[in-house]
Amino acid sequence: MTTIRLKRPIRIENGDGPPRYPVKEALAKVRDRVYRGDRYECSCCGRTYKLFLYSPFMAALCPYCLSFERYRLLCRYLRDRTDFGAKKTRMLDIAPIWCFQEFCRSFENVEYVSIDIESPMAMQHMDIRSLDFRDELFDFLVCYHVLEHIDDDAGALGELYRVLKPGGWAIIQVPIFTERTIERGELSDEEADDLLKYDCHLRSYGMDFEEKLEAAGFDVEVVDFVKEFSTREIERYGLDCSEIMHVCRK
């Protein structure tokens, strides 16, 4: 018997907007009916459930949009602390995932553009180190846990600064595990396995990440947003307690 493997999800082009994924949407509706409740609330899709789903890789997934903790924290921040979606905004999303794409799609004023070097989820394929966009094009951009995969992270940050409008803003996040940034080449194989966790991570960022953002030209506000929530709220919304927001302005 021949097994047919689909390497990429079925995607429907959507004009100038982000692609639609009918299989994802159909499965999400099924999970929504099965797990509907009121104990937990997803800040990405706004739905409530009797539980979050669990997997070996992500601790708590929303049954509908499959968001996980750090993306729910990001969406909660955009909902609670910013005017995101209140006015016309052209935004760039680097390395998109479905839950955040759909969150952005829900705001009529947001002109959403996504890029990745190869992901089928992205609207355009390009390299973050050499973006094929004119200067000062975007009002807002999100680069969420991407730079740890990029060899020339300083070059990538320079490109993000270049395509952002004066007065524009960005949320640029990386996993931070150490006091100072340590490159993979500084570590033994054992140390790299222990500290970097994944073969695709090229460095462990440290508390000096703010300085790297400032060196690229950004004004940076470091926001420990999760501390604004009670223990019960963190549980209800399924938020990442380790994620510190880096809000960057040009």
Q: pTM of the predicted model, to two decimals?
A: 0.89
Coil, helix or strand for 1? coil
Which range is least confidently modeled, 15-19, 20-24, 41-45?
15-19
H helix runs in the chain, sequence order:
22-35, 69-81, 98-105, 153-163, 189-196, 209-215, 231-237
Domain boundaries, the chain: 68-249
pLDDT above 60 (res 57): yes
* C-alpha pair distances (Å), 52 with each of 18, 57, 103, 235, 236: 26, 14, 18, 10, 10
Are the C-beta atoms of residues 225 and 79 closer than 8 Å to each other?
no
The proportion of the chain whose per-residue pLDDT surpasses 70, expressed as a percent, equals 91
The count of other CB atoms within 10 Å of the CB of residue 50 is 12
d(CA 153, CA 168): 20
d(CA 223, CA 204): 20
pLDDT (tens digit, 9 = 90+) per residue, 173-186? 998 888 898 777 78
pLDDT above 60 (res 187): yes
Coil, helix or strand for 123? coil
Written as one letter, the residue type at 29 is K
125-150 CB burial, b ≥16 within 10 A, e <16 = eebbbebeeeeebbbbbbbbbbbbbb
Phi, psi of 103 (to 5 degrees): -60, -50
Q: Specify the residue for token string 């209140």.
A: 86
More confident residue, 193 or 170: 170
The proportion of the chain whose per-residue pLDDT surpasses 90, expressed as a percent, equals 74
d(CA 62, CA 173): 21
What average pLDDT does range 127-138 have in this prediction? 97
pLDDT (tens digit, 9 = 90+) per residue, 233-245? 999 999 999 999 9
Give the total residue count for the chain: 250
Q: pLDDT confidence of 6, banded at 50, 70, 90?
A: very low
> Among candidates 78, 133, 70, 143, which has minimal Cα distance to 107?
78
CA atoms within 13 A of residue 85's CA, in its CB half-sphere: 12
CATH architecture of 68-249: 3-Layer(aba) Sandwich (3.40)
Coil, helix or strand for 90? strand
> Among candidates 177, 173, 166, 176, which has minimal Cα distance to 217?
166
> Among candidates 119, 77, 79, which has minimal Cα distance to 98?
119
More confident residue, 202 or 85: 85
What's the CA angle centered on 9, arms 119 and 46, to 5 degrees? Answer: 85
The 3-state secondary structure of 207-228, one letter per residue:
CCHHHHHHHCCCEEEEECHHHH
What is the residue-averaged pLDDT of the chain? 90
Q: Is 16 left (phi over 0), alpha (psi -120 to 50) or beta?
A: alpha
Q: pLDDT confidence of 111, banded at 50, 70, 90?
A: very high
